[in-house]
Structures are given as structure tokens and as C-alpha cells.
Structure 1
Amino acid sequence: MAIRNVLRIGHPALRTRAAEIPDDWFGSQRLQQLIDDLFDTKLACSGAGLAAPQIDEPWRIFVVGMGHNPRYPDADPLPERALINPVIKSIGDELSSGWEGCLSVPDLRGEVERWQRIHLKWQDLEGAFHTEELLDFHSRVVQHENDHLDGVLFPDRLTSPLAFGFQDELQAHGRIP
């Protein structure tokens, strides 16, 4: 287990589409090590999620989960889990706006529209498939992390260029909690 360096916006690895985890990795120590490194790094940085490309690993895997998080004080807890080769689809057309941050875009926040409800399909460490419907903040976090697997960062999805700024400035002026 290790805390890895988180790449920042501008690094080309963050703009590359990640490859699927190969079948022969499931159940392996190699995959377990990657998952452990993702969780350790996410925890050390107080993240709600972290995708493999953010630690310079070109694979379609991310981790999510948090209890009380100082970066998201009003958010409900999320169960901790690793989502491998995820696929998401919207349920309906309803969108919601919310302020997002990113460990790869430090100290900045932006308002982004995301699907309110999604259908999620993913594999676990052993390769078993799972499906679930997600709502609200949990749906937002999964969509944000899934974007990383496609080389997309939250500033690419801003509702407006005016809905973007440094966290402390936005807080000082009452735009975010």
C-alpha cells in the first residue's frame, strides 16, 4: 500500500482514454495493489473518489467512498468500493447542478450539471459483475470519476465560465459552503 502522487491538470495522462482492466488481472495481487494505492491516496487527500489515471495508471478503475469529508461538508457518506471497467447510463433526462472539486484541479471548484440518476454496471476485484442505480451526490461522484477514465476533467463541463474559481474565494463570497 502506498500514497501515490496525484497528477494535476495539464499532465497529458489525464487527457487519455484509459484501457479496460484485462481479464487475467482479476483476483491478482497486481490489481489488489492498484486498488490499495487508490484508496490510500484518496484517503490521504480527503477525496470522495480517485481514478487510476490520476495516479498515472492508464486503467478503467476508480474508487469512491467517504464518511464525513471536510471537502464536502454537506454530503452524505458514500460506501467505499472499487469500480472496475464501469459503464454508466442515465436514467431519465433530469440533470442537477452542483459544485465540484477535484484532486487533479487543486483548490478550484466549478458548477457542473450531471444526470440526477444513473444505472451503473461494474466489476469487482474477482471479476464479478454488479449493477446498481445511483442518485444525487453518489451519482455525481461516480460520473465525475468515470469522466477521468475518458480523459475528461470537471472544468470541461462547467455550466458557465463564471461558475469556476478558487474554493476560498467562492466560500468568502457565499457561492459554496
Structure 2
Amino acid sequence: MSQKLPIIQLGNPILRQKAVWVENIKDKEIQKLIDDLIVTVSQANGVGIAAPQVAESWRLFIVASRPNSRYPHAPEIEPTAMINPQIIAYSTEVVKDWEGCLSVPGIRGLVPRYQTIEIEYTDRNGQLQKQQLTDFVARIFQHEYDHLEGKVFLDRVESTEELMTEAEYQQRQKVRI
């Protein structure tokens, strides 16, 4: 049965480690981890979550964009497990936008990311997938990919003036609507 897993927070050394390549995608433990990550990201109001965020240092993450209290304008896509993902090409256009992280609660940062990326990953059935992602979904992928490289969004913020609390961010979003 799938369960919500505890999410580790900034300061835990696992978040700063490079994650390990998944060799056996069909392994029962990997398949259970995928199911548990889908439950965890949904219950935590996230739009993505990487295995290292639940103290499992595998090159695996879930992209699960949908509108929620943290991201009310997120597009709706089916939760997708991306195993051993890679960015194979990216646009020259870089866009800054606000990001938060389930492992860095209470903080948002203005983070530059590629507008468009070409990616490949293995799905949970062992099939190689290639896609082009743009805008918010490309941002999610890059954010989660950073977790596999031992980085968090704070590492990409260009100035501490581009940080704010989650409460201030939410207040500004209410004013915008």
C-alpha cells in the first residue's frame, strides 16, 4: 500500500549528494518508492518531488503539476515518474520566476531557468521517453533534476534580495488576482 513519506529538509546531507543511477527499474522497492512519492507530492501540495527529498538517493523524481494552494495556476498533468532523467538540449532563453521547495519550507526564491528543454528519461515501465518541455513544467523538471545533482533552488538565486517568505509570497499572489 502506498504511503506518504517524511520529507527531509535543508541541512540533511542527503540533499547535497549526487543521487545514484537506478539500474533495476522493475525492482519492487523502486516501484513502491514511485507510488509513495506520488502520494507524498500530492498530500504535500507539491508539483514535483525527487527521491533524495525522502532520503532515498536515487536518480528518480515525480513531475505532478496541478493547481493547488502553493501553485494555483499550475497546469494539470498526470503524475509522471522520471527515472535516470537527462537534459539533452535547452533554449538560450532563460526566464526568472518564483520557486519554493518542500525541503526548504517557508521560503521562495526568484530562480533563472531555461524556458525550453529537451529531455529523456526512463518511465516506470522501462521505456525510454523523449520530450520537449516548456514554461512551468520545464521549471519543475529542472528544479527536481537539481535535487539529483545535490543542489537546491537557493543555489541558483542570484541575490538574497530575490528571496521572500512563503507567507509574503502568498499575500502578494492574493493581491495579483
TM range (shorter): over 0.9
Paired position in structure 2 for 1:16: 17
With 59-68 and 42-51 compared, the bigger mean Cα shift is at 59-68
SS in 1 for 2:33: helix
Partner deviation per Cα, 1:90-149 (whole Å, 9 max, x = no partner):
432100010000000001100000000000100012221110000000000000000000
RMSD: 1.7
SS in 2 for 1:151: coil
State the distance in 2 between where 1:160 and 1:176 align.
24
Rate the CA distance shift 1:174–1:49 in 2: closer, same or farther, 3 A: closer
Paired position in structure 1 for 2:72: 73
Q: Work out the number of aligned pairs and report it.
A: 175
1:109 is the counterpart of 2:130: no
Rate the CA distance shift 1:171–1:66 in 2: closer, same or farther, 3 A: closer
Q: Structure 2 matches for 1:90-109, cutoff 5 A?
A: 90-109=89-108
Paired position in structure 2 for 1:148: 147
1:127 is the counterpart of 2:149: no
Rate the CA distance shift 1:28–1:171 in 2: closer, same or farther, 3 A: closer
Spell out structure 1 runs of 4+ moving beyond 4 A: 173-177
State the distance in 1 between where 2:163 and 2:174 align.
10
Structure 2: 5+ residue stretches without partners: none
Structure 1: 5+ residue stretches without partners: none
> Kindly, what percent of the aligned residue pairs are identical?
38
Paired position in structure 2 for 1:89: 88
